[in-house]
Every structure is written in C-alpha cells, then in structure tokens.
Amino acid sequence: MQSQIKLYYKNVTAEVIGAEHGITVSQLKALAEKSSPLISQLNEERKAGQTPYRGLPYNTQIAQQVKDLVGQLKEDCENLVVLGIGGSALGNIALQTALNPYMYNLDDTQRAGPRLFVFDNVDPEQLASFLGWVSDKLDKTVFNVISKSGRTAETASQFMIIRQLLLDKLGPEGLQSQVVATTDAKEGTLRKIAADAGFRCLEVPQGVGGRFSVLSAVGLFSAAMCGIDIDSLLEGARDMDDRVSCEDFYKNPAALNAAINYHFYKRGKKISVIMPYSYSLKDLADWYRQLWAESLGKAEDLKGSKVHIGPTPVKALGTTDQHSQVQLYREGPNDKLFTFLQVENFDTELKIGPAPDCASELGFLAGKDLSTLLNSEKVATEYALLVDRRPCLTVVFPEVNACTIGQFIYLYEVTTSFAGALFGINTYNQPAVELGKEATFALMGRAGDEYEKLVQQIRSLTKIDGEFLV
C-alpha cells in the first residue's frame, strides 16, 4: 500500500478542549464497549451478504466490464455526459474533482479522456445552454444515463430530451450508439428502455443503494473514461476494508469516527461540519452530505419507535469559508463537530511571488509555497476553534490520488454503517424521499386516482394565500 489516510482524533478529547465539551477517557471507554459488539455485528452482516456495497472493491467483473466498455468508446468520445441525480451523480462529480485537474474540461493538454459534464438537476437554462454547445458534436458525445429505478423524474426528463435530440440529429442508430445506460440488472423502466433501444448497459448491483454505489459501474465508468485509475481506487478501498473490519475499536477508524460522531450528537452537537482544505476534495464533502443525511436522518428506529434522529451534515471549504462561516463556528452555539480534510503533500507546488516595493508588509509571504499557506490556515482555524472548545477531527491525506480517495470513500461508507447501528436505525432506506417523488409525479399529471387525490391534497396545503404575500 503506497500511503494511507489517517483519522486524527486527539482534538475531540477532554484533554484538549476540557471535560464540558470534550470526550473523557471514561467516555471513550464506554464508547468502545458499546461499539465493539457492533464491529462483530457489521462483519457478520457483511459475511451474510446483507451489505453488498462492502464487496464492491473486490468485484473484478464490474471493473472488467467497465474497462471493456471504455475500450470500445473512449477513442471516439470527446464529451461524456452523465445524466443522474443523488447517488447516481454525486460520486461521479466527487471523483472527477478529486482526481483530475481543475482545468480538465477546458484545456486539452490537461485531460486524459473526454470532457465530463454531470447534469443532476432540471434547470432549463443550464441544460439549454449545454445543448446549444453540444448539438453539433453529438457523434463525439456519449450520454451515460444512470438510474437504478429509471423512474426518477429528473433523470427520465433529461434522458427524454437527449433521446429526442439524438433521434432528430443522428437517427435511431445514433441514439443506440451514443447512449450507455447504467441501471438495475433486470428490472425497472430504464432497463426496459435500454432493451428496446439496444443501448450498451452497465449494472447497478443488487442491494446497493445509490449513495453506496460509487465504487460500482455507477462511478467507475465516468472515472475510467476520464483517465482515472480505477484499479488504484478499488485497491485503496480494499486496504481500508482491512482497517474498518478490525475488531479492536481503537484501531478501527470507521468505528472510532462513528462513535465520536454519535457521542457528540447525543450531547447536543447535532451538526457535523466537514471542511476540506483542498479544492480537489470539495465535492467529496457533497457526496458525504448525501451519504450521511439520507442514511442517518430517520423518523423511526429499528423497533418502530419514533426517534426523529440524524446529525445534520454541513459542507464548508477551507480557506474560502473561513471568511464566511468561521465567525459563527467560533462564537455561535457550541453545537457542531468539525471534520477537517487535510492534504500533507500536494502534487503541485506554487511559490508566492515577491512583495511589491511599496508593500513590504507582505514580505513574510514572499517565496513561501501556497500549500504551506493553505495548511497553515487549516491549523490556524483548528487552533481558533479549539481555543473556543469546539471538537475537531482531521482526516489526513498523505497525498490525493486514486488510492487515498478509494480509502476515504470506503472509510465514510463504513463509518455510516457504524453510525446507523449506533443510532439503531435502518441505514439503507430513504422512505422520506418518496413522498416528494410521488408528489412531483402527481403535479406533473401522472394518471391514476391516487395521483388525482394527491394533487388536491398538495394544492390545499401549498396554494398561495395572498394575505401572507408582502
């Protein structure tokens, strides 16, 4: 293993921030006692096939299918467009931002594959602008429509727009050649459409929910098309699997991470801020937000009691949000746990130029590496928070590469499983998302008595009351 990410947790302890806000030695011991049986439980569940996402880093078949398809398509592909939402998009965006250069899409010399565009919304102006650009490049553009169910209104609508465009410009053969569908192996609307149109297909594995699917074809295809080393990504995840399966609580970063999050939630720190100090890692924070929110925000526990539980994940970016959020983080309510993501060695070093003669007060910055400034600001922000007794974790990346990103993804997926077990909830469902989906279907005119009734209920609750419009 080239290098390993580490979780640093001293700055959540009472030793650093005092016993009122920090974790004492006896509290950590109690967390170890509560968590240790859950480590065995999760390992057993995994062996029994109840958490299929745990096996993805070992699935050579998926990786091979992805590589074969990339081999067929890459040479003639200048643009890759992902149509998907939630778990069918956030991992793709996170991998691309983490592992390809900032100017990847704009500078041909900086890209090792097609330009990548991920559409995870239905904003007409955004998509129309893109279509205006891509319409005369369709024969060099591959559309990867990703939807496990195929009935998600956003993805289905985007696909129906693209389908018509491809039919109009390139005909049925063009439609067939330019679309890759990633969906359930057997069932669902997209599977039916793909079979009918003869699309190339990849699978969303059985039992793997969208937010746990980035290490399947869902995330691997766009990554591999764009030159990301998916073998290293999976190798990193396998390395982390060894560490998060360890039965010793104190050596298991996922069990520790989950237990610390659980401890602070139970003591009123219900907001979990993740703050990367690296532009590359910023979209992993969005990916984490969905993973944490959809998995842990639940009305009922496993016994059916109402609990309305769930830490609120918040994304911040260092140093940008020091100038936006840190005033609140230091002086506002002490209701947050902070997790910094820190990179020890950046791929590129950039030296700050000399100070102008008229501004010698800037001389202290001259000649220093920009990464030194970035990491100094991380330490400075952490210090300022610790002075105010705010708990801080850090995930340390020796460097950002496919292997360490694979480790991070797997660490947080398994941390989420541990946290769900500690909260005693079902980590893998998302019942509350369904009502909004059904309401959208109803408002968009889906046929059926139940939808007509739902429209009336929606209108009566949401119609604009002029008296309250100022």
The residues that are catalytic are 294, 323, 437
CB 396 within 8 A of CB 226: no
Under 8 Å CB-to-CB from 450, ≥6 apart: which residues?
Answer: none
Instruction: Using the minimum distance from each CB to ligand PA5, give the nearer residue, 213 or 252.
Output: 213
Sign of CA dihedral 216, 217, 223, 229: positive
Q: How far is the CB of 288 from ligand PA5 (least distance, A)?
A: 13
* Positions that interact with ligand PA5 (CB under 6 A): 85-88, 147-149, 152, 155, 209-211, 294, 430
Ranked by CB distance to ligand PA5, the top (closest) residue is 210
Nearest to 149 by CA among 199, 93, 86, 196: 86
CB 402 within 8 A of CB 228: yes
Q: What phi and psi values does residue 351 have, to the nearest 5 degrees?
A: -90, 140
Instruction: Using the minimum distance from each CB to ligand PA5, give the nearer residue, 7 or 193.
Output: 193
Strands 336-343 and 200-204: unpaired
One-letter amino acid identity for 377? E
Q: How far is the CB of 291 from ligand PA5 (least distance, A)?
A: 8
Q: How far apart are CA 440 and CA 153, in angstroms?
A: 8
Q: How far is the CB of 184 from ligand PA5 (least distance, A)?
A: 8
What are the distances in angstroms from CA 279 to CA 154, 273, 326?
28, 16, 18
Strands 298-300 and 115-119: unpaired
